[in-house]
Amino acid sequence: MTDRTQVPGVPVVGGGMATLLGTPVVATVVAGPTGAEGGEVTSSGSMVRLFLSVFAENRLALVGAATIVAIVLFCFLGPVLYHTDQVHTNLLTANLPPGGAHPLGTDNVGYDVLGRLMVGGQVALEVGLGAALLSSLLGAAWGAVAGFFGRWIDSVMMRVVDSVYAIPPLLLMLLMVTIFSPTTLMFIIVVAVVSWLPTARLVRGESLSVRTREYIEAARGAGVTSTKVIVRHIIPNVMGTIVVQTTLQVANAILLLAGVSFLGLGTPPPSTSWGAMLNNGLNFIYDGYWWLIYPAGVAIVLTVLAFNFVGDALRDALDVRLQRH
């Protein structure tokens, strides 16, 4: 005999409907011999298996995930296996075509393009991942507080978001880059500052819905502080939205960094990025030196597409309306 009741530690909504990553889950307690004690908790299907099943059905997502792994290994493990000097210039080997000791040729100051691609990818991935995590943290906190309290607090906080939204991200980023020294850490902070707005809006919308649920009202009625309610209930219930948005923000951060670097405001030499490599290659676009342009451009396109494919698949896998099992 099964007794449908509340499981300790699992919020119950409307007759046993709990929420995990924004997805309803029916929690059932199978009573033991004594009925009330020794029960075994089961669920209506494994959430992990359901998530992996939906994710695996998306072939583009699998290609994207494999591409991301390959790019990470290329950028961080590649320099260990393929040694190049990316600090000292050598004009005697400048603009060599691909072949021999330089599979992708050399640039105008003698740097090996393949090795340069690896170094530039490290900066792009570090800024992309770091800025995405920081912007998601800031946006999630801002949106959760605004959505939970509502009323005038929500109005003031969201008017701030709307005001910052009116400024083009690239323009704001260019302004900040000209003020602060261009380093990898600085780019992470700057990109995060201009990228947290979409996350704040999405989390705020989800929080407005979550705060009206029974277990939230029960927690507030029991005297639980607002901070604990936000951290323990609001944030976990909108985590699916945050995860998806973080994945997509990585691609946006890489594009922002590439755009600023393309304009000549990237990290100073000998450091580089894919955008800076594109900027340098454009100076020789009419000289036939295609290897100075295409490798960096292809790397940017592949990386951005890969993260977008994975982000779309995560959204589908975490969206209960698209789960067929």
How far apart are alpha carbons 64 and 92 in whole angstroms? 39
Domain match, 101 and 29 both: no
For residue 213, give the nearest of 15, 13, 19, 16 by alpha carbon. Answer: 13
Query: The domain containing residue 78 runs over which residues?
Result: 49-322
**What contacts 176, CB < 8 A, 6 or more positions away?**
190, 193, 194
pLDDT value of residue 112: 93
R_g (Cα) of the chain, nearest Å: 25
Domain match, 56 and 28 both: no
Domain match, 282 and 193 both: yes
Domain match, 39 and 55 both: no
Distances (CA, A) of 153 to 56, 133, 142, 148, 265: 42, 25, 11, 9, 38
Domain match, 146 and 289 both: yes
**What contacts 127, CB < 8 A, 6 or more positions away?**
184, 187, 188, 191, 253, 254, 257, 273
How far apart are alpha carbons 202 and 181 in whole angstroms? 32
Per-residue pLDDT of the chain (325 residues; tens, 9 = 90+): 444 444 444 444 444 444 444 444 444 433 443 333 333 333 444 667 777 777 778 888 899 999 999 999 999 999 999 988 888 888 888 889 998 888 999 998 889 999 999 999 999 999 999 999 999 999 999 999 998 888 898 899 999 998 888 888 888 888 888 888 788 888 899 889 888 999 999 999 888 888 888 888 888 788 778 888 888 888 888 888 888 889 989 999 999 888 888 887 888 888 888 988 998 888 888 888 899 999 999 999 999 999 999 988 888 777 644 444 4
Domain match, 24 and 82 both: no
How far apart are alpha carbons 127 and 190 in whole angstroms? 10
pLDDT value of residue 130: 93
Domain match, 15 and 126 both: no
Token pair belonging to 325: 């099992």
CATH number at residue 122: 1.10.3720.10
Domain match, 82 and 120 both: yes
Domain match, 58 and 157 both: yes
Amino acid at 223: G
**What contacts 90, CB < 8 A, 6 or more positions away?**
109, 110
Interval 267-316: pLDDT, tens: 888 888 898 899 888 888 888 889 999 999 999 999 999 999 998 888 87
For residue 240, give the nearest of 319, 185, 149 by alpha carbon. Answer: 319
How far apart are alpha carbons 65 and 311 in whole angstroms? 10
Token pair belonging to 250: 């990585």
pLDDT value of residue 50: 72
Interval 210-256: pLDDT, tens: 888 888 888 878 877 888 888 888 888 888 888 888 998 999 999 98
Number of domains in the chain: 2
Domain match, 37 and 71 both: no
pLDDT value of residue 4: 43
Domain match, 35 and 178 both: no
Domain match, 172 and 207 both: yes
